[in-house]
Homo-oligomer: A and B are copies of this chain.
Amino acid sequence: MIVVADNLRITLPAVQQAVERLDPEPIRQMANACKAAGAQAMDINSGPLTRNPAEKMTFLVHSVQACVDLPLVLDTTNPDAMAAGLAACNGRATINGVSLEPEKLQRILPLARQTDADLVAYLLRPDGHVPADAAGRMEAAVQLFAECEKAGIAPERLIFDPIVAPLTWQDGNRQNMAVLKTIRTLSDLLGVPVRTIAGLSNLTTGAPDATARKRYQHAFLPMLADAGTDFILMNVLDPDLMRTVEACRNITAGSVFSWQ
């Protein structure tokens, strides 16, 4: 289970301001804090970046790479920002991501093939909505797999995201049981081993307070770990949650365990 920090996001005022001013210092501070906390990769969630997308994503990638050597996950819906970010990355980057929405397929798949990047594939319907159940997610996976194959992207580059649902949704808990089922069965269904990612923070969008958020993230994380999720996109700056990651790894690892 590889931990990807979801902390560097444009919705934080400090990050937004740094991007507007092209001031690398707040970005470096965040990247260093995430690495120190145990992040094994960094998601750079730049949002859509309507003005100067290429310049801003390049700035973000350079700022992070200047201080940490973590693999980067480029998280933007703007294809120009994505292309610029991929060009700025040292080593293999991860595109986050593609879905069956036609414009996503058209713009993102060629970028993935050209750069040989890893590619997060969201298990959404072609209209961008979350499927109602595990069967809908499987259907999306089969179609995305075929689209990627057609575009010349190897299965080992794919990382499927079954879309963790906020518990505030009317059917949020059922959706998240479908997420676990999808993670468990996807490789069997597709007939080749594929990797999966889950965004833990999504679970508690709309939670009334930090205590509730923490409690539910702590309860769902071990379920994701036991299901075999390869990547967890999460708040690495919560030390309790990182300790739960460590406990989950030790319980599920199969290697010799020690309390030390």
Contacts and interface: CB of A to CB of B under 8 A. Distances in A.
Interface residues of A, number: 37
Contacts of A207: 259
Interface in A229-260: 243-244, 247-248, 250-257, 259
A173 B219 contact: no
A39 interface: no
How many monomers of this protein are in the complex?
2
Interface stretch (A82-90, A145-153, A164-172, A190-198): A164-172
A216 B168 contact: no
Of all A-B residue pairs in the complex, the 8 with the closest CB atoms, nearest first, are A219-B247, A222-B222, A223-B226, A173-B257, A219-B222, A215-B247, A222-B223, A208-B259
Interface of A: 167-168, 170, 172-174, 176-177, 180, 206-208, 212, 215-216, 218-223, 225-227, 243-244, 247-248, 250-257, 259
